Structure 1
Amino acid sequence: MHNKLLTLTAASAAVVAATPVLLPTASASTTAAPQLVPRASVHFDLAKGQTPENIALAPDGAAYVTFAAGRQVAKVSRDGTTRILATLPEPADGGVRTPVLGFPLTVGIVRAHDGTLYFLYATGTPDLTGVWRLRPGGKPQRIAALPANGLPNGLALDARTRTLYITDSVLGTISSVPTTGGSPTVWSAPELAPDGFLGVNGLKIHNGAVWVTNLDKGTALSIPIRPDGRAGRVRTEATGLQGIDDFAFTGRGDQLLATLNGTSQVALVESDGRHSIVLTPADGLQNPTSVAVRGDTVYVTSAAYLTAKDPNLVRLHLKR
């Protein structure tokens, strides 16, 4: 595990090297930002590979997270208790063919209304890379294979059509597959390719569109879902967000919170694309990877990929 974390740290360093520190600019928002007041923090064990990569919320306030380096899915209760729900099988070659990183990792996760969890696993091998499902009380099962030469990353569920959307940060694509499983199809590709490291990353369904980020290009994009289910024309919603990873909408139109991994910051992005920094390392962030919002509560996970200390989950009150 130590060698895996060193590999991940080295890869993350490449992101930071190409990521300028975000200083106040003319593009920064001048509107009053909502205040994020810390409520609680949960700390994870780096030595066990507990690097939280993505998060999905339950109605009771519990959070489901993927531990990337541990190949695990875990449940974090409101009181901070962490329980491992599943550990995925290690590939026969140890995952050395996993693109960019060289070791297997669990990535995007979503939760359906019935409590079923869907998540992504990247191993560089055709027998394990893909979309996995975990029903309450059950065992993890792969329901769709994904290209072994890619790096599946972000995951979103369109509950209305029972469709899963998947970003691939290496191949630069968004694919779709029914929640029942089967063969994924490439849904969109323009503007999604990497530019040196990782391309399309975070993913959400919002107001009839697929929203994504491109880490290398520092952009947030939206792609309308046409009535026939096909992808519409890509629209750039925000720029200048270098190192952008995951994001979540605040509940105010297209306003969103985005994690900036390399600089350990969270940005508030307004509907017109302007942005301001609202969380920093002083708030406990250690290379934040994902963010989720439920009501007036914000959850931010930090995987400590570069800082190599204190991977955590911070819960904050969103005071508007």
Structure 2
Amino acid sequence: MSTKLFRSAVTAGVLAASAASVLTPATASALSAPLSNARITEHFSLTAGQTPENIAMAPNGDAYVTFAEARQIAEISRSGAVRILATLPAPEDSVETTVLGFPLTTGIVRAQDGTLYFLYATGTADLTGVWRLTPGGRPQRIAALPANGLPNGLALDPSTNTLYVADSVLGTIWSVPATGGAPTAWSTAPQLASAGFLGANGLKIHDGAVWVTNLDQGTVLRIPVLPGGHAGRVQTEATGLTGIDDFAFTGHGDQLLAALNGPSEVALVQPDGSHSIVLTAADGLSNPTSVALRGDTVLVLSAAYVTDQDPNLLTARLND
């Protein structure tokens, strides 16, 4: 599948389902009350493949992002300087083999010591998996993942030094030791499966559980981590979130902000599962992929996979 065909699949499978809501006055409004001062702070280059997919924050406010199509890891300082830290090797086979039609870097997390862990999907067995980049070092694959899958969301549980990986094609959450080694299928619950395109997507560790979104199903799921590290019963926390990608907790209990990729929106999801749209394309979103917080500042990445216009970093203030 070429990149063009991938964009067509997203348009047909996600945007069509949300077209009615995109056109309503409620979602076309510039901003809802919970957020203010929305503005684009960084514009990225489509021609250079700078389609930002995921984000991890450092204590000093710097951000680390994956540029999916460029196969790169980049650092964005608080002042806005962009520095490329690594470019992953291209697959030797020139055939486009991932379900999205191109090799891409996806989820990224930062450990307390500054080590970056990130995911790379190529459709080839020699490169697909979990990678590590230590400060000043070179990228190294530490765990292989199935080449026929799409490792996408990534989270680190520092209490157990365990990485969790959401596979959007295989409908699986993998667990991998942060030191490296063989992955374990931690959960293959049916709620993680796709409905024809992409299933399990964004992933976070929060309050003793693994939280994961399902793009095709438009859901937020919670899976408790049981004693011994095993997966508990899947609980559906929110529904009706068309094209949901990655997300971030706001610091107010289970409240979270979620990127809705196809509709170019950000939703504020309450602990009871209800949600409201708080950012739209009118604010500058262009197929948003992920959300992060730096204090009361919300950072949203847009990859422009379908719009083909202005991949960017948008910031806004989260109001109390």
TM over 0.5: yes
SS of the residue corresponding to residue 59 of structure 1 reads coil
**Separation in structure 2 between the aligned mates of residue 60 and residue 7 of structure 1, nearest angstrom:** 40
Q: Deviations along 1:248-280, whole A, 9 cap, x unmatched? A: 000000000001100100000000000000000
**Separation in structure 2 between the aligned mates of residue 132 and residue 245 of structure 1, nearest angstrom:** 21
Per the TM alignment, residue 81 of structure 1 is displaced from its structure 2 partner at its CA by 1.0
* Preserved contact between residue 5 and residue 69 of structure 1 (Cα < 8 Å): no
Alignment correspondent of 2:62:
62
Alignment correspondent of 1:110:
109
**Separation in structure 1 between the aligned mates of residue 78 and residue 120 of structure 2, nearest angstrom:** 26
**Separation in structure 1 between the aligned mates of residue 118 and residue 261 of structure 2, nearest angstrom:** 21
**Separation in structure 2 between the aligned mates of residue 268 and residue 317 of structure 1, nearest angstrom:** 13
Q: Deviations along 1:1-29, whole A, 9 cap, x unmatched? A: xx9643442232232234344378xxxxx
Aligned residues between the structures: 311
Per the TM alignment, residue 225 of structure 1 is displaced from its structure 2 partner at its CA by 0.3
In the alignment, residue 257 of structure 2 is paired with which amino acid? Answer: L
**How do 1:22-41 and structure 2 match up within 5 A?**
22=21, 33-38=33-38, 41=41
Alignment correspondent of 2:143:
144
Alignment correspondent of 1:306:
306
2:281 counterpart of 1:286 = no
**Separation in structure 1 between the aligned mates of residue 40 and residue 256 of structure 2, nearest angstrom:** 22
**Separation in structure 2 between the aligned mates of residue 149 and residue 126 of structure 1, nearest angstrom:** 9
**Separation in structure 2 between the aligned mates of residue 148 and residue 174 of structure 1, nearest angstrom:** 15
* Preserved contact between residue 9 and residue 308 of structure 1 (Cα < 8 Å): no
* Preserved contact between residue 247 and residue 257 of structure 1 (Cα < 8 Å): yes
* Preserved contact between residue 36 and residue 278 of structure 1 (Cα < 8 Å): no
Alignment correspondent of 1:124:
123
CA 198–171 in structure 1, closer or farther in 2 if over 3 Å, else same: same
Q: Deviations along 1:22-77, whole A, 9 cap, x unmatched? A: 378xxxxxxx9522322551000000000000000111111100000000000011
**Separation in structure 2 between the aligned mates of residue 124 and residue 153 of structure 1, nearest angstrom:** 13
**Separation in structure 2 between the aligned mates of residue 86 and residue 11 of structure 1, nearest angstrom:** 29
Alignment correspondent of 1:270:
270
* Preserved contact between residue 33 and residue 268 of structure 1 (Cα < 8 Å): no
**How do 1:196-207 and structure 2 match up within 5 A?**
196-207=196-207
2:196 counterpart of 1:212 = no
**Separation in structure 1 between the aligned mates of residue 64 and residue 20 of structure 2, nearest angstrom:** 31
* Preserved contact between residue 247 and residue 256 of structure 2 (Cα < 8 Å): yes
**Separation in structure 1 between the aligned mates of residue 308 and residue 40 of structure 2, nearest angstrom:** 21
Which consecutive segments of 4 or more residues in structure 1 shift more than 4 A? none
Alignment correspondent of 1:93:
93
In the alignment, residue 312 of structure 2 is paired with which amino acid? Answer: N
Alignment correspondent of 1:28:
none
SS of the residue corresponding to residue 47 of structure 1 reads coil
* Preserved contact between residue 118 and residue 133 of structure 1 (Cα < 8 Å): yes
**Separation in structure 2 between the aligned mates of residue 239 and residue 22 of structure 1, nearest angstrom:** 15
* Preserved contact between residue 95 and residue 124 of structure 1 (Cα < 8 Å): no
* Preserved contact between residue 130 and residue 144 of structure 2 (Cα < 8 Å): yes
> Gaps spanning 5+ residues in structure 1: where?
25-31
**Separation in structure 2 between the aligned mates of residue 128 and residue 302 of structure 1, nearest angstrom:** 26
Q: Deviations along 1:172-191, whole A, 9 cap, x unmatched? A: 01000010000000001211
Alignment correspondent of 2:49:
49
SS of the residue corresponding to residue 263 of structure 1 reads coil
**Separation in structure 1 between the aligned mates of residue 218 and residue 112 of structure 2, nearest angstrom:** 32
Q: Deviations along 1:126-181, whole A, 9 cap, x unmatched? A: 00000000000000000000000000000000011000000000000100001000
**Separation in structure 1 between the aligned mates of residue 113 and residue 161 of structure 2, nearest angstrom:** 12
In the alignment, residue 136 of structure 1 is paired with which amino acid? Answer: P
> Gaps spanning 5+ residues in structure 2: where?
25-31
* Preserved contact between residue 3 and residue 100 of structure 2 (Cα < 8 Å): no
* Preserved contact between residue 105 and residue 121 of structure 2 (Cα < 8 Å): yes
Alignment correspondent of 1:29:
none
TM-score by length of 2: 0.94
User: What RMSD over aligned residues (CA atoms) do the two structures have, in Å?
Assistant: 1.7
**Separation in structure 2 between the aligned mates of residue 75 and residue 308 of structure 1, nearest angstrom:** 23
* Preserved contact between residue 51 and residue 70 of structure 2 (Cα < 8 Å): yes
